[in-house]
Chains A and B, each alone.
Chain A
Amino acid sequence: ETGVTQSPTHLIKTRGQQVTLRCSSQSGHNTVSWYQQALGQGPQFIFQYYREEENGRGNFPPRFSGLQFPNYSSELNVNALELDDSALYLCASSYEETQYFGPGTRLLVL
């Protein structure tokens, strides 16, 4: 158990729709990162938030955006969904340079 939870566990959307994924981390974990993991691939870094501000970003378009809240929860928003957005989305909170992953949200875009 890492103490990091994500919701929902599974989600089906259609192309062009928008989606919001949620993550809740442990108290004191000021940094949260989001990753996209396509089937059979390793996780790809989307972005990182530190104390409610974006602190770094991977090679993802602006339609991927996020928020981090003071209560150690965060959101990943994806607009104008594309078929290739189908993947497992993982959030990870960091404490003392260790990342603790949530169980992920599996998104299917039809």
Chain B
Amino acid sequence: QQPVQSPQAVILREGEDAVINCSSSKALYSVHWYRQKHGEAPIFLMILLKGGEQKGHDKISASFNEKKQQSSLYLTASQLSYSGTYFCGTETSRTGNQFYFGTGTSLTVIP
């Protein structure tokens, strides 16, 4: 049930854009996105609920295609602070009693 993310790793120069994809084999109620820096706990970025809404703040946004069971995270004009491993997390029901993190995408932003 673990969602699959692509790409596995990406290297960007400051100012470039990136897209990270998350794909599930199960129908989803929600998709969460997290960033985790080495040796630290995951930090919540945003949640997208069933309904296909797109969310965003600052230069990071995400979309959720409920029919395709996919979500994408968009990072625009990347900054050095964006470096880390990005995980999607999925719930298949409103009660959220099973939460699965994706396979992870390592993102490195270089000057």
Which A positions have Cβ atoms within 8 angstroms of B? 2, 31, 33, 35, 41-45, 48, 50, 55-56, 58, 90, 94, 97-104
CB-defined contacts of B89 to chain A, threshold 8 Å: 99
CB-defined contacts of A97 to chain B, threshold 8 Å: 30, 47, 49, 96
CB-defined contacts of B47 to chain A, threshold 8 Å: 97-98
Nearest Cβ on chain B to A39's Cβ, whole angstroms: 11
Q: Is the pair A98, B44 in contact by a Cβ cutoff of 8 Å? A: yes
Q: Is the pair B97, A55 in contact by a Cβ cutoff of 8 Å? A: yes
Q: Is the pair B41, A101 in contact by a Cβ cutoff of 8 Å? A: yes
Question: Can you give 28 contacting A-B residue pairs, CB < 8 Å?
Answer: A2-B41, A35-B101, A41-B104, A42-B101, A42-B104, A43-B42, A43-B87, A43-B101, A44-B101, A48-B97, A48-B98, A48-B99, A55-B95, A56-B95, A56-B98, A58-B98, A90-B42, A97-B49, A97-B96, A98-B32, A99-B32, A99-B44, A99-B89, A99-B99, A100-B44, A101-B43, A101-B44, A104-B41
Interface band, chain B: 20 to 34
Q: Sorted from nearest, which 5 A-B pairs have the closest CB atoms?
A: A56-B97, A101-B41, A42-B101, A55-B97, A42-B104
CB-defined contacts of A98 to chain B, threshold 8 Å: 32, 44, 47
CB-defined contacts of B2 to chain A, threshold 8 Å: 42
Q: Is the pair B41, A103 in contact by a Cβ cutoff of 8 Å? A: yes
Nearest A-chain residue to B41, judged by Cβ: A101
Question: Which B27-48 residues have C-beta < 8 A from chain A?
Answer: 30, 32, 40-44, 47
Question: Which B66-111 residues have C-beta < 8 A from chain A?
Answer: 87, 89, 95-104
Q: Mark B1-36, 1 if CB is under 8 A from A, else 0.
A: 010000000000000000000000000001010000
Q: Is the pair B97, A90 in contact by a Cβ cutoff of 8 Å? A: no
Query: What 19 new A-B contacts, CB under 8 Å, besides A43-B87, A90-B41, A103-B40?
Result: A2-B41, A33-B99, A42-B2, A42-B87, A42-B103, A42-B104, A44-B101, A56-B95, A56-B98, A94-B96, A97-B47, A97-B96, A98-B44, A98-B47, A99-B32, A99-B89, A100-B44, A101-B41, A102-B41
